[in-house]
Amino acid sequence: MSDVVTRGEIPAEIRRSVLLWVGCIAGALEENEYRSKLQQAGFENIEIEQTRVYRVEDAGEFLTDQNIDVDAIAPQVEGKILSAFVRAVKPGD
């Protein structure tokens, strides 16, 4: 599947934004948490292959008009939000 995951902590101001939630960013799981949840569900051979890493410029674009101090927050998300292919196998019984 293709999903949005995070690498490290994401500021609470971003996670609280309804617009960003709808856009899959605020609700994205941190990549290690994603792996852990898949393992807990019985999946193996878990791979998270990044397909795009969002940079400060991208963050500035999606944070504009969100009542968020873009200059303060954007550098905190540099390289921490990424699109990825998530692959895993659930062995049969």
Taking the whole predicted model, whether its pTM rises above 0.85 is answered as no
Pairing of strands 2-6, 81-89: antiparallel
The answer to whether the CB of 86 falls within 8 A of the CB of 2 is: yes
Residue 79: which domain range? 2-89
pLDDT in tens, 13-56: 777 775 665 567 777 889 999 999 999 999 999 999 999 888 87
CATH assignment at residue 64: 3.40.50.150
DSSP state at residue 74: G
54 to each of 16, 46, 64, 82, how far by Cα in Å?
19, 22, 15, 6
Indicate the number of domains in the chain: 1
